[in-house]
């Protein structure tokens, strides 16, 4: 129960709703328990008449009519209160569910990139949906049913004892048995439904991968083996579901069996007492009604216990994420205005999950308005430099200065807001092309969107679509070609008009002619901006103010294009090789 204490703040937030809900629950159950008494009295009136104790038939009829009207009235009011009880307690549980989901979501937004690398997407989704649903069962139904159970049992038991102690004890004999067996059964059901859930997520993951990789599947013609793989998981999932249903199927028969035993005891013991003249017939019926009213709350004890245990396990998982401290923290709340000077001072960086030292003792400096091109073999550390400039990670050793301020001391949000980043693998949202560009500047006008698209040399492609800028892109922008996606992503960075522009190998999917056009446009738009261009092509780097060449995390060459083509090494080799390819 320790993990669930986390929810106390929500209970305190909604204390009035919960208190009113509890009060209404008590009232509704008090009323519901009046009905067996009125029925008992009515039957006793009839019995007394038959036995000649009362003789006035009109009086009997009158009494019965009054009792029937009271029963109807009480049932209507009890029903109304039950409705209010759900409206307060269950609605409160939905409000807490909403708050908790928001809290988790905000925490997800706060957590650093590393957190997302360490945890699987499915797990993140599960904790905010499945786990929160289980916790809701604790804050809503579990509390409601527990209140129900307590009120019904305390009041019902008191009423029964007052009528007949012996009959009460016999009637209640099967109840502990009922509660324990439902508890055991609930545990089995929980265990089996967890397995079913696991298979369900296996199936979902399998299908998600298959749909995302549909191109590969179709082009390799491996549909049959995919179907076989699906069949195997689906088959196992079916078995687990059948297992679960077997346990589920026992639930109601078990309850009916134990209710039946209680009723039999009432009839048998009550019948004997009736024959001995100890009780009237109305009492037997009254007790049978109590058995029916009390069965559900007693059965629910086991169910609620299992519900609380599941909620506890889910809350432990939720707390694990909620208690994580973001690795990258903002330490400065005052505004940081960037000029665009970037300096790396003896920067070393090791990815802590793989222990790969991606950068070793990196030193360079770029002034505001300058362009730095970064070249190097794959895995040499180019993207890592960019990730450090955006402060997606903090350096392991050394310092990054932004206009002479260590990056860790600058306002994190301001730094990121003043960086326009085009990643290697651009991501487009399932939205219109226009909105995907506008993502870089929410209040951008149509003219600004078009200007950015023109600079990214994608405008002509967009207007060819029937809906132009209003063309909706599918999941991950599948309707666009790789090069078009890259250029929409470039337009998104340009429209932001940031102080620092970063292009991470984002011209790889466009032909050299388009690349030339984009680069010449960029030269215009990036006049007062610091620009980082990562590339494998000399053509992207040649006009840069500075070029650095990385190898295994170290700078092996630096200078301008003219300097580097004269120097023996990686850059000259690459230049000659690409020159040759162009000529061919």
Binding site for ligand ATP (CB under 6 A): 117, 351, 353-354, 356, 358, 376, 378-384, 424, 505
Q: Taking a C-beta distance cutoff of 8 angstroms, is the pair 287, 171 a contact?
A: yes
Provide, rounded to whole angstroms, the least separation between the CB of residue 476 and ligand ATP. 19
Rounded-to-integer distance, Cα 584 and Cα 582, Å: 5
- Closest to ligand ATP by CB, 266 vs 366, is 366
- Closest to ligand ATP by CB, 359 vs 437, is 359
Provide, rounded to whole angstroms, the least separation between the CB of residue 517 and ligand ATP. 24
DSSP string computed for 313-346: HHHHHHHHHHTPPPSS-----S-------EEEEE
Provide, rounded to whole angstroms, the least separation between the CB of residue 360 and ligand ATP. 11
Cα-flanking dihedrals φ and ψ of residue 125, to 5°? -70, -40
DSSP string computed for 261-273: HHHHHHHHHHHHH
- Closest to ligand ATP by CB, 380 vs 455, is 380
Rounded-to-integer distance, Cα 548 and Cα 375, Å: 6
Which of 470, 370, 378 shows the shortest CA–CA distance to 424?
Answer: 378
Provide, rounded to whole angstroms, the least separation between the CB of residue 380 and ligand ATP. 4
Residue 536 DSSP SS3: coil
Q: For residue 118, what are its two tokens?
A: 């360490």
Provide, rounded to whole angstroms, the least separation between the CB of residue 123 and ligand ATP. 18
Place of tokens 């903002």: 330
The neighbour count for residue 90, using CB atoms within 10 Å, is: 17
Which of 342, 389, 338 shows the shortest CA–CA distance to 503?
Answer: 389
Provide, rounded to whole angstroms, the least separation between the CB of residue 363 and ligand ATP. 17
Rounded-to-integer distance, Cα 517 and Cα 539, Å: 12
Rounded-to-integer distance, Cα 141 and Cα 71, Å: 27
Q: C-alpha 70: how far from its chain's center?
A: 49
Going by DSSP bridges, is the β-strand pair 530-534/371-376 parallel, antiparallel, or unpaired? parallel
- Closest to ligand ATP by CB, 40 vs 537, is 537
- Closest to ligand ATP by CB, 21 vs 376, is 376
Q: Taking a C-beta distance cutoff of 8 angstroms, is the pair 95, 141 a contact?
A: no
- Closest to ligand ATP by CB, 259 vs 386, is 386
Q: Is 326 exposed, middle or buried (0-12, 13-18, 19+ CB in 10 A)?
A: middle
Cα-flanking dihedrals φ and ψ of residue 400, to 5°? -110, 125
- Closest to ligand ATP by CB, 382 vs 485, is 382
Burial string for 454-473 (b: 16+ CB within 10 Å, else e) reads: ebbbbbebbeeeeeebebeb
Q: For residue 47, what are its two tokens?
A: 């019995």
- Closest to ligand ATP by CB, 454 vs 536, is 536
Provide, rounded to whole angstroms, the least separation between the CB of residue 379 and ligand ATP. 4
Rounded-to-integer distance, Cα 205 and Cα 233, Å: 11
Rounded-to-integer distance, Cα 293 and Cα 259, Å: 10
- Closest to ligand ATP by CB, 414 vs 505, is 505
Cα-flanking dihedrals φ and ψ of residue 397, to 5°? -140, 155
- Closest to ligand ATP by CB, 201 vs 424, is 424
Provide, rounded to whole angstroms, the least separation between the CB of residue 471 and ligand ATP. 30
- Closest to ligand ATP by CB, 69 vs 356, is 356
Percent helix, strand, coil in the chain (nearest 5)? 65, 10, 20
Provide, rounded to whole angstroms, the least separation between the CB of residue 356 and ligand ATP. 4
Cα-flanking dihedrals φ and ψ of residue 350, to 5°? -120, 130
Question: Which DSSP category does 55 fall into?
Answer: -
Rounded-to-integer distance, Cα 56 and Cα 50, Å: 11
- Closest to ligand ATP by CB, 270 vs 381, is 381
Provide, rounded to whole angstroms, the least separation between the CB of residue 529 and ligand ATP. 22
Provide, rounded to whole angstroms, the least separation between the CB of residue 566 and ligand ATP. 25
Provide, rounded to whole angstroms, the least separation between the CB of residue 502 and ligand ATP. 12
Provide, rounded to whole angstroms, the least separation between the CB of residue 391 and ligand ATP. 15
Q: For residue 551, what are its two tokens?
A: 């190898």
Cα-flanking dihedrals φ and ψ of residue 557, to 5°? -150, 145
Provide, rounded to whole angstroms, the least separation between the CB of residue 295 and ligand ATP. 57
């Amino acid at each position: 129960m320790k993990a669930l204490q986390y929810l106390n703040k929500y209970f305190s937030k909604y204390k009035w709703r919960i208190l009113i809900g509890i009060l209404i629950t008590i009232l509704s159950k008090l009323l519901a328990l009046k009905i067996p008494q009125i029925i008992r009295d009515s039957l006793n009136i009839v019995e007394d008449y038959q036995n000649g104790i009362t003789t006035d038939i009109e009086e009997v009829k009158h009494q019965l009519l009054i009792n029937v009207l009271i029963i109807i009235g009480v049932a209507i009011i009890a029903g109304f209160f039950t409705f209010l009880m759900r409206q307060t307690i269950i609605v409160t549980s939905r409000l807490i569910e909403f708050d908790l989901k928001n809290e988790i979501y905000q925490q997800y937004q706060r957590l650093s990139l590393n957190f997302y690398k360490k945890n699987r997407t499915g797990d993140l989704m599960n904790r905010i949906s499945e786990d929160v649903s289980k916790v809701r069962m604790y804050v809503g139904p579990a509390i409601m049913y527990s209140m129900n159970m307590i009120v019904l049992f305390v009041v019902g038991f008191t009423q029964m004892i007052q009528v007949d102690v012996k009959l009460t004890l016999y009637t209640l004999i099967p109840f502990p048995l009922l509660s324990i067996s439902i508890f055991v059964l609930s545990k089995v059901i929980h265990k089996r439904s967890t397995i079913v859930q696991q298979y369900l997520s296996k199936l979902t993951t399998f299908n998600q991968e298959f749909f995302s990789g549909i191109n590969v599947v179709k082009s390799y013609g491996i549909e049959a083996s995919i179907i076989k793989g699906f069949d195997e998981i689906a088959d196992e999932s079916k078995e687990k579901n059948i297992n679960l249903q077997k346990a589920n199927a026992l639930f109601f028969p078990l309850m009916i069996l134990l209710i039946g035993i209680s009723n039999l005891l009432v009839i048998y013991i009550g019948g004997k007492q009736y024959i001995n003249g100890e009780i009237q017939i109305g009492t037997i019926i009254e007790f049978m009604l109590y058995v029916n009213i009390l069965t559900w709350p007693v059965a629910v004890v086991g169910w609620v216990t299992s519900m609380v245990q599941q909620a506890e396990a889910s809350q432990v998982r939720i707390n694990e994420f909620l208690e994580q401290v973001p690795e990258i923290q903002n330490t400065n709340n005052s505004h940081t205005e960037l000029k665009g000077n970037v300096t790396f001072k003896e920067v070393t960086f090791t990815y802590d999950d793989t222990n790969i030292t991606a950068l070793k003792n990196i030193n360079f400096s770029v002034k505001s308005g300058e362009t730095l091109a970064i070249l190097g073999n794959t895995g040499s550390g180019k993207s890592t430099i960019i990730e450090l400039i955006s402060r997606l990670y903090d350096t392991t050793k050394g310092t990054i200065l932004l206009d002479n301020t260590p990056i860790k001391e600058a306002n994190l949000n301001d730094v990121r807001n003043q960086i326009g980043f085009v990643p290697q693998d651009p991501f487009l949202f399932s939205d219109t092309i226009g909105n995907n560009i506008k993502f870089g500047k929410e209040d951008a006008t149509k003219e600004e969107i078009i200007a950015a698209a023109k600079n990214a040399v994608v405008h002509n492609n967009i207007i060819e679509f029937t809906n132009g800028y209003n063309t909706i892109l599918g999941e991950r922008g599948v309707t666009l070609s790789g090069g078009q996606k890259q250029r929409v992503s470039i337009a998104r960075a340009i429209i932001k008009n940031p102080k620092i522009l970063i292009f991470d190998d984002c011209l790889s999917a466009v032909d050299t002619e388009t690349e030339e056009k984009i680069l010449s446009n960029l030269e215009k738009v990036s006049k007062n901006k610091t620009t980082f261009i990562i590339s494998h092509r000399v053509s992207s780097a040649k006009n840069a103010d500075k070029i650095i060449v990385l190898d295994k995390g170290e700078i092996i060459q630096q200078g301008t294009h003219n300097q580097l083509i004269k120097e023996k090494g990686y850059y000259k080799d690459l230049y000659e090789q690409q020159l040759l390819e162009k000529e061919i």
